[in-house]
Chain A
Amino acid sequence: MEHLAFTCLSVFSLACALGVVLSKNAVNGAMCLLLCLAGVAGLFVQLHAYLLAFVLVLVYAGAVVALFLFIIMLLDMQGGTPWKFRGLNAAAGFVAALLLVTGLNLLAVRGHLEAGPPIGHSVGSSLKLYSYQLFTTYLLPVQIIGFLLLIAMLGVIVLSRRVPQPEDAK
């Protein structure tokens, strides 16, 4: 049963990820990204990371994809050139594909990653344990991340200010 759910979710996610890459229209690509994220959130639920599935849907599907759609509408882009594969890009893609296939092949042939069966009571599912970790071991990173968000906000405000044109100054 769990295996069937895993297969369905992974095929769904992969198909939607391919949709992001292959769709001509950027809006369709954003929608495919949304569906792919929903599939990954389902996989997170299967891995008993309920909080992360929730946060993924909230942050990515809610905020990031909406932001993408806003920008696509703002820039009003149509069509564009979907597929060009040539020169250095083709070489880079070929080398990367070769490395990936070699690595996965080694993983599949040489044996398994050393891991027992999943632990019965998953630690990721317990919100209390999770927040305990966040506010003890990872307290400094949490504060740094907060600072990073502040800096990002300031950066966006500075970037989106209209730069005064030379003609405007006169």
Chain B
Amino acid sequence: MTPSLDSYVMLSAALFAIGFLGVLVRRNTLVIYMCLELMLVAATLALVAFSRFNGTEDGDVFVFFILTVAAAEVAVGLAIIVALFRARQTVQVDQLDSLKH
């Protein structure tokens, strides 16, 4: 007996929720970034499951694009974080509040 589509979607939602929780509660920019990646992976899991259960490959192809964009995003984001660390000597979000006022 194979697991149903529902269980895959639930699992994907739970992973997404955990990633979102991390984005909300953590204060370290790098950890927030990791949690963002977690949310992306949760979305890809849902896409693959839908694609499998509907017998089309469009979802699978889309996951390919998501992975590519995620790789580019990580490269640029980490470069920004390093530049930020050079300028401010911190990566804690509490102390990066120049745009606040």
The interface of chain A, by Cβ under 8 A from chain B, is 2-3, 6, 10, 13-14, 17-18, 20-21, 26, 29-30, 33, 36-37, 40, 43-44, 46-49, 51-52, 55-56, 59-60, 63-64, 67-68, 71-72, 74-75, 77, 80-85, 89, 92-93, 96-97, 100, 103-104, 107-108, 112-113, 115-119, 122-124, 129-130, 133-134, 137-138, 141, 145, 148-149, 152-153, 155-156, 159-160, 162
Residues of A within 8 A of B7 (CB): 6, 10
Q: Which residues of chain A come closer than 8 Å to B54, judged between CB atoms?
A: 115
Contact check: which of A49, A67, A155, A159 meets B60 at CB < 8 Å?
A: A49
B positions within 8 Å CB-CB of A: 1-11, 13-15, 17-22, 24-28, 30-31, 33-35, 37-38, 41, 44-45, 48-58, 60-61, 63-65, 67-76, 78-83, 85-86, 91-92, 94
User: Nearest Cβ distance between residue A133 and chain B, in whole angstroms?
Assistant: 5
